Amino acid sequence: MKMVKNFLNLLLSAIYPNKCVCCGKIINDDYYICDHCDKLIERNNIDNICLNCGFQEQDCVCKYNVYRFNSIICVFRNEVYARDAYYAYKFSKKQHYANFFAQEMCEAIQKVYSGIEFDVICAVPSFNKLKYDHSGYIAQLISKELNVPYTKCLLTCIKRSKKQHKSTIQERLCNVDGKYKVNHRVDNLKILLVDDIKTTGATLDECAKELLFAGAKSVYCVTALGSSNSQKQKIEK
Ligand SMILES: [Zn+2]
Ligand SMILES: [Zn+2]
């Protein structure tokens, strides 16, 4: 049986070789990213991260915001390599990419949130339930790895999004006001909230507000990508 399985695996890797999530180069089955892209992908330095806004200290935007979640980690910067890999995942739905992001996010969570025992993991939902739930799928992978239950329907999005990318932070805060609802009480729970990207943080803040209203003890966030530039430019205009 083992021989058959090994043969099948060999055959599968010959037909579908393992490829780097950034450049597509064929790599060893044990990795998600090639050495070259691994050096270039825009990882935030987790040891030098501002946990109030999730960005590296030189990109900190805390002077512009006060958030209601306890802490946040943005694992990558929304730049070339990391952004392209995430968008390739979001639109291709390839599990391989999701595994890569989930693994990197788990490493950051275990390092930065070590000592915090989460009761539940949930993801920021989208309005369109038929759309591929890319953040939810990553949250499920993180849940398996950390052995913390994932609840799919804790949050529901009840308002369609307005185009956020050209809005100021004040407009974004208004846009998301009342957008999410919590479906059951979460009294005294420590929640890990997962999303794809943090820009102004208005969405995560709104979800955290609702979770805290529903009784949550604390809300910690983690996102694959984070972008501080658009926020600084818009406010400084
Ligand atoms: Zn590569
Ligand atoms: Zn900060």
Task: Say if residue 135 is in the same domain as residue 91.
Answer: yes
Q: At residue 166, does pLDDT exceed 70?
A: no
Range among 75-89, 123-137, 171-185, 221-235 rated most confident? 75-89
Task: Say if residue 106 is in the same domain as residue 184.
Answer: yes
**How close is the Cα of 236 to the center of ligand 1, in Å?**
36
Question: Nearest ligand to the C-alpha of residue 38?
Answer: 1
Task: Say if residue 134 is in the same domain as residue 174.
Answer: yes
Q: Is 45 helix (H, G, I), strand (E, B) or coil?
A: coil
* Residue 84 burial (CB count, 10 A): 15
On whether the pTM is more than 0.95, the answer is: no
Q: Which two tokens stand for residue 223?
A: 């996102």
Question: Nearest ligand to the C-alpha of residue 40?
Answer: 1
Task: Say if residue 7 is in the same domain as residue 111.
Answer: no
Name the nearest CA neighbour of 21 among 106, 83, 105. 83
Mean pLDDT of 98-115: 97
Q: Tell me if 192 sits within 8 A of 120, measured CB to CB.
A: yes
Give the structural domain span for 29.
1-40
Q: At residue 164, does pLDDT exceed 70?
A: no
Question: Nearest ligand to the C-alpha of residue 88?
Answer: 1
Q: At residue 163, does pLDDT exceed 70?
A: no
pLDDT, tens only, 122-157:
999 988 877 889 999 999 999 999 999 999 989 999
